[in-house]
Structure 1
Amino acid sequence: MSESKEKNEMDESRSGGIQVIARACSVMRVLGSHPRGLSLGAIAQEVGLARSTVQRIVSALESESMVEPIRPGSGFRLGPALAQLIHQTHTDIISIARKSLEEMSEQLNESVTLSCISGQQTNVIDRVIAERELRVVFPMGRSMPMHATADGKALLSTLSDEQILEVLGQSPEKLTDSTHGIQSLLEEMEQIRQSGFAIDNQEHTVGISACSILIPTFMGPHAVAVVAPTSRFEMRANEFRQALEACKASISKLAGEY
């Protein structure tokens, strides 16, 4: 085989490999923006590829646990391996924040979370679950909508209004009667940017509320949240806020600002 022909074949192989990676990334981004999952047909429509091509890509990603089936025949969502990679990426901030999270959870006797931005969603990278009968057990590694969660809104406030519109569009999904529309959310962003503090009053799940504080670090923006049944949240909101401010001060001493 001539040197020129061998080089051409290598270039074609490299180009094909890059295309496969790009397509796989497109599939994962689409699933990231639809945490409840999508069918193969819906994924294909979103990424503009043939269903058979998407099926091959999804099968390869599923074998690596990067995506997982929701139920047989019900579509796919992002898998646990992605959450593990995110967790490993943020190991330093987790080790820095862990003691502060544990102390705040013990002080309040409520569940607390540490989150970061993951694509167009919020991802919980660490949590401490309260040891009491009525509590909120927050899923680790699960992508959550930024517009309807306290930590998501705190993180969303680091973006400009134009960037928020690019991420959410004009009509973010209404999850409960309390979920904000885009105009109301943008107005709320002004207050959050000034205070660094956000509230989710049953905007994601009826009966569950949360408050969160933004923590800029040298590893990027993170958010700590207290998540509780709404019945307790309404009585203790000021107490939660004071605890979050103390937690931020504790973490900032070690994590610095980015």
Structure 2
Amino acid sequence: MSVEKDKAAEELRSGGIQVIARASAIMRALGAQPQGLSLAAIAQAVGLPRSTVQRIIAALEVEKLVEALPGSGYRLGPALGELIHQAHGDIISIARQSLEDLGETLGETVVLSCIRGQQTHAIFRVIGENELRVVIPLGRSMPMHATADGKVLLSTLTDDSIVQWLTPAPQKLTANTLALPALLEQITQIRGTGIALDNEEHTPGVSAISVLLPTLMGPHAVSVVAPTARFVTRKDEFRQALEAVRDAIGQSRA
């Protein structure tokens, strides 16, 4: 097995664009199924012979980009998580000052998030200074269909991908949670504006507004989260502030 892995690793390093494209397709297939996939399922998902998939998987295992599951099957490996963490660290270092200034100016909670495991995942936050404030736990993953950052991140996907991720009946968390047809209609609008709202769709009494922040490591979202009583009177102010922060962070990355 060690010889096979070494052979596959060499093929992945020297085989050129085709092997890289195939390895990328395999990793994307695994990324879409966090619970893992069998070799047969991976081969079906990427349209390659099982023997080809097995050789590439073996090479990815060597680099810890893929790991075997107990029994059978594979999932993305720890090395990929380390790379993502490093990339997020770069994004946070670029955005930190702008986000801290935004939180201080508005007095509300500000969150930087990304997609992880088909949910929205908070990677940086600034807690608002108001006595009544919303605290988003750092590292918390939340459903994408019922949050402002989740919706703005979903807008980067096709409608078919969104339906596949959410299923035809996403969980209704509050009376305001949108059903899938209404969500898809709203996401069409979000694609044009880069702005999404959460009108107590995840938590009663809490609303949010998010702006899409494209980065080299994929889409991110910056959100302002506040009690609805304050949010409704300051929504336009929050939107203008988020658009300014998006532009400022974009310029600092240029």
TM-score (norm 1): 0.68
Q: 1:84: Cα distance to partner?
A: 8.0
Alignment deviations for residues 155-212 of structure 1 (CA, whole Å, 9 cap, x no partner): 1000111111111110111111111110000000111000000000111111111000
Distance in 1 (alpha carbons) for counterparts of 2:82 and 2:174: 30
Structure 2: where are the runs of 5+ without partners? 9-26, 37-68, 72-77
Is the contact made by 2:87 and 2:217 (CA closer than 8 Å) also made in structure 1? Answer: no
Q: Distance in 2 between matches of 1:107 and 1:154?
A: 23
Write the deviation string for residues 63-120 of structure 1: whole angstroms up to 9, x where unpaired: xxx9xxxxxxxxxxxxxxx988754331111000001101111110000000111131
- 1:142 is displaced (CA, Å) by 1.4
Aligned pairs for 1:147-162 within 5 A: 147-162=145-160
Structure-2 change in CA distance of 1:84 and 1:178 (3 Å): farther
Equivalent residue for 1:145?
A: 143
| In structure 2, C-alpha distance between the alignment counterparts of 1:158 and 1:9, rounded to whole Å | 40
Q: Determine the structure 2 residue equivalent to 1:246.
A: 244
State whether structure 2 residue 216 is matched by structure 1 residue 218: yes
Farther-moved stretch of structure 1 (176-185 vs 210-219): 210-219
CA RMSD of aligned residues (A): 3.1
CA contact (8 A) 2:213 2:219 kept: yes
SS of 2:235's equivalent in the other structure is helix
Whether the aligned pair in 2 keeps the contact of 1:178 and 1:202 (CA below 8 Å) is: yes
- d(CA) in 2 for partners of 1:119 and 1:183? 23
Partner of 1:110: 108
How many pairs align? Answer: 199
Please say if 1:171 is aligned against 2:172.
no
Q: For 1:85 and 1:236, locate their aligned partners in 2 and report how far apart those are by CA, in whole Å.
A: 38
Q: Contact 1:151/1:224 (CA < 8 Å) preserved in 2?
A: yes
2: CA distance, partners of 1:219 / 1:89: 7
1:29 aligns with 2:34: yes
Residue pair 1:84, 1:141 contacting (<8 A) in 2 also:
no
What secondary structure sits across from 1:178 in the alignment?
coil
Aligned identity (percent) is: 56
- Compared CA separation, residues 146 and 9, structure 1 to 2 (3 A): closer
Task: Specify whether residues 200 and 84 from structure 1 end up closer, same or farther in structure 2 by C-alpha distance, changes over 3 A only.
Answer: farther
Does the Cα contact within 8 Å between 1:213 and 1:224 map onto a contact in 2?
A: yes
Whole-Å Cα distance in 1 between the matches of residues 111 and 235 of structure 2? 16
Cα distance in 2 for residues equivalent to 1:85 and 1:220: 13
Matched AA of 1:212: S
Specify the alignment match of 1:228 in structure 2: 226
- For the residues of structure 1 that align with 2:122 and 2:81, how far apart are their CA atoms? 9
Decide whether aligned partners of structure 1 residues 148 and 94 sit closer, same or farther in structure 2, where only a CA change above 3 A counts.
Answer: same
Q: Residue 127 of structure 2 corresponds to which residue in structure 1?
A: 129
Q: Residue 191 in 1 paired to residue 189 in 2? A: yes
SS at match of 2:214: strand
Conserved 8 A contact 1:83-1:141: no
Supply the distance in 2 between the matched residues of 1:246 and 1:103 (Cα, whole angstroms).
12
Distance change in 2, residues 1:86/1:140 (3 Å): farther
Structure 1 unaligned spans of 5+: 1-7, 16-21, 32-53, 58-65, 67-81
What's the counterpart of residue 54 of structure 2? none
Q: Distance in 1 between matches of 2:248 and 2:145?
A: 27
Q: Which amino acid aligns with 1:216?
A: P
CA–CA distance in structure 2, aligned partners of residues 225 and 130 of structure 1: 12
2:226 alignment partner AA:
A
1:84–1:209 Cα change, 3 Å: farther
Shift of 1:220: 1.7
- The verdict on how the C-alpha distance between 1:141 and 1:85 changes in structure 2, with shifts beyond 3 A counting, is farther
Separation in structure 2 between the aligned mates of residue 151 and residue 92 of structure 1, nearest angstrom = 20
